[in-house]
Structures are given as structure tokens and as C-alpha cells.
Structure 1
């Protein structure tokens, strides 16, 4: 019998694709491409939504 797991909180900014590799157009000596890894600024590469922050409003 399968276990019930709570729904994952997927980051709404990156839809779960937290990291992307971007080519620079250059190549290494062995012929592979030079890439940069860029992480989602909202979830910082964790694929899950950041915790909600509470703000105190009013008196």
C-alpha cells in the first residue's frame, strides 16, 4: 500500500528548474564548451519554495 506524502512546495519562480547551465561560446582545450551554472535567486537552487515570512502589521 503506497504511503501518502505531502505535496512538494515547488518554487513558483523557477517551477522546479532551479539551475541552468549557460554556454559562453568558448571551448576548453579538449573541445568541451565553457558553461556557467546559474541558480534561481528565489530558492537559491533548492527547487522548493522559500518559507513564508510573517510581517507584523498594525498596532
Structure 2
């Protein structure tokens, strides 16, 4: 019988979309748009969080 592996917990701050690209409105000399890549500060760009039992054990 196969074992079920628990699914990773999705970050509540970013809903799993840990990295985004935001356009600044300006263009580069080759015509492409200038973008900023931003990562979620809560999960540090992973999109998942540690289970609460593990987070509490580290204190």
C-alpha cells in the first residue's frame, strides 16, 4: 500500500507565488522593459512554510 506524503504548506503571505516581476515603465536600449524581481519576505522565495510544530521547536 503506498504511503501518502504530506503536501508542503503554502505560504499565507504570497499564496505560493513567491517571486514576481514588476515592470518599472521604462525601457532598455534594446526595447525590452525594465523589470524588478521581488521575493516574498515571509518565505524567502520558496513559496512554502515550515509546519507550525517545527517553527515552535526552534525557539
For Structure 1 versus Structure 2, the TM-score category normalised by the shorter chain is 0.7 to 0.9
More strand by share: 2
Give runs of ≥4 in structure 1 deviating > 4 Å.
none
Q: Output the TM-score relative to the length of structure 1.
A: 0.75
- How many matched pairs? 56
Greater mean deviation of Cα atoms: 44-53 or 30-39: 44-53
Q: Output the TM-score relative to the length of structure 2.
A: 0.75
Greater mean deviation of Cα atoms: 43-52 or 13-22: 43-52
RMSD: 2.5
Q: Which is higher, the Rg of structure 1 or of structure 2?
A: 1
- Unmatched segments (≥5 aa) in structure 2: none
User: Structure 1 55/43 Cα, relative in aligned 2: closer, same or farther at 3 Å?
Assistant: closer
- Unmatched segments (≥5 aa) in structure 1: none
CA deviations on 1:1-59 (whole Å, 9 max, x unpaired) are 87632121111111100011111111011110000011101001011114523487xxx
More helix by share: 2
C-alpha separation in 1, matches of 2:17 and 2:33: 21
